[in-house]
Amino acid sequence: MTQFPARHTIPPGLVTLADHEQHARTQLDDNAWAYFSGGAADEISLRANRTAWDALSLWPRVLRPLAGGHTRVPLLGRTLAHPILLGPVAFQRLAHPDGELAMAYAAAALGAGVVLSTQASVSLESVAQAVLPDPGRGPLWFQLYLQPDRGFTQALVQRAEASGYEALVLTVDAPTSGVRDRERRAGFRLPPGTGPVNLAGLQAPASTPLSPVQSALFDGLLHHAPTWDDIAWLQSITRLPVLLKGVLHPADARQAVSVGAAGLIVSNHGGRTLDTAPATATALPRVVQAVGGAVPVLVDGGIRRGTDVLKAMALGASAVLVGRPAVWGLANAGAAGVAHVLRLLRDELEVAMALTGCATLAEATPALLEGQDGAPSGRD
């Protein structure tokens, strides 16, 4: 039987996601802080994710009918209570002993979707047992990294299917890790009991001896990097819809639709892979335009306010995902902290909707945002 997470109270004075981040620094050691908070290289993309949302203005409309409004949205055949999902974050027991289990309980209680990382520190079966019995829960998806051992990957997919996961989220933007300076300075390491438990038994691929002039990356590790052909293989072994996470370029978005992806997640991996990649708020409207409504488009990266959620929806997103803020809540107060983060975001979203004249998120269109000429774009 799955054990319920410990009960905690919210520390006083935490009224924003930024407050949660500041307090989490006092709860996490340097090792965990470097892992969760750091980005790649000079962290330009990490910062840009945040500033790009700030650069968008909301143009409020007044005297509109708001009674009976709501935050419900459709997504892959379901109606969600709100458009906020918890994105995949690895090794959450670095932040709290309950790790992904606390995250799952909080999400289910608040009607938020959960995307569990392949590199979770809690078994995928335990998380499913925590989420699925709750009638008000959001969707339960499993994030997948394709492993060099296809048999192991297939077994992992079968475990997710058997446990009740409703979609696979294939990460496509990380054929290798980014240059993470903060982790290197901190000497990052996983403490005992915090490993990727769902990858237990996976054998590392045999290494090929390299000459001094060869590249360990191009002549070694990247031999196993996934390609578009692997999308077809994955679809052939599962009955679950497959979404692609890490799409920024419109051409890739169009190709993803052509190969049958069930949805796209506009993401730059939280600024943790390619530094100077565009901010997700910048890429989102380009991807939305490229797919032309053929599949749902979700977005993550830098979302810290309810106004950010509303801006994402106005740019054409079907839903948003948050990662680091949920970890800060987890570090501060376990499941209660994660629930508090979700509640803050949803409450702020509702306020932003009311103050911009949107009774529903279907009314959040590009007309809500500032045009390049300084006037509202779109129709009156």
What domains can be seen in the chain, in order of their start residue? 17-57+65-198+226-368 (3.20.20.70)
Question: Percent of the chain scored above 70 by pLDDT?
Answer: 91
Strands 319-322, 263-266: pairing kind: unpaired
What's the pLDDT at 221?
A: 64
Residue 16 is classified by DSSP as S
What's the pLDDT at 268?
A: 98
Residue 214 is classified by DSSP as S
Q: Is the pLDDT of residue 220 over 90?
A: no
Q: Is the pLDDT of residue 39 over 60?
A: yes
Per mean pLDDT, which range of 12-26, 61-75, 206-220, 272-286 is the poorest?
Answer: 206-220
Q: Up-side HSE of residue 75: CA atoms within 13 Å toward CB?
A: 29
Annotated binding-site residue? 301: yes
Higher pLDDT, 225 or 338: 338
Annotated binding-site residue? 276: no
Identify the burial level of 298 via C-beta atoms within 10 angstroms of its C-beta, where 0-12 means exposed, 13-18 middle and 19 or more buried: buried
What's the pLDDT at 178?
A: 82
- Are 268 and 277 in contact by the 8 Å Cβ rule? The answer is yes
Coil vs helix vs strand at 168:
strand
3-state secondary structure 61-84: CCCCCCCCCCCCEEECCEEECCCE
Per-residue confidence at 8, pLDDT binned at 50, 70, 90?
confident
Annotated binding-site residue? 68: no
What's the pLDDT at 111?
A: 98
Question: Percent of the chain scored above 90 by pLDDT?
Answer: 85
d(C-alpha 332, C-alpha 334), whole Å:
6
Name the residue among 366, 350, 269, 377 with its Cα closest to residue 83.
350
Q: Is the pLDDT of residue 88 over 50?
A: yes
Annotated binding-site residue? 77: no
Higher pLDDT, 4 or 118: 118
Q: What is the mean pLDDT of residues 107-116?
A: 98
Q: What is the mean pLDDT of residues 27-44?
A: 97
What's the pLDDT at 131?
A: 94
Tell me the per-residue pLDDT of 155-196, one tens digit each, with 9 for 90 and over: 999 999 999 999 999 999 987 888 899 999 999 999 988 999
What's the pLDDT at 153?
A: 95
Annotated binding-site residue? 165: no
Query: What value, to the nearest 5°, has the Cα angle with vertex 35 and ends 139 and 109?
Result: 25
Per-position b or e across 148-162, b if 16+ CB within 10 A of its CB: bbeeebbebbebbbe
Provide the mean pLDDT of the chain. Answer: 93
Per-residue confidence at 29, pLDDT binned at 50, 70, 90?
very high
Q: What is the mean pLDDT of residues 103-129?
A: 98
Annotated binding-site residue? 322: no
Q: What is the mean pLDDT of residues 224-247?
A: 95
- Are 47 and 275 in contact by the 8 Å Cβ rule? The answer is no
Give helix 306-314 / helix 280-291 axis angle, nearest 10°: 30
What's the pLDDT at 371?
A: 44
What's the pLDDT at 4?
A: 62
What's the pLDDT at 379?
A: 39
Per-position b or e across 94-114, b if 16+ CB within 10 A of its CB: bbbebbbbbbbbbbbbbbbbb
Residue 200 CB partners (closer than 8 Å, separation 6+): none
Per mean pLDDT, which range of 11-15, 98-102, 366-370 is the poorest?
Answer: 366-370
The whole-model pTM stands at 0.93
Coil vs helix vs strand at 263:
strand
The residues carrying an active-site annotation are 269
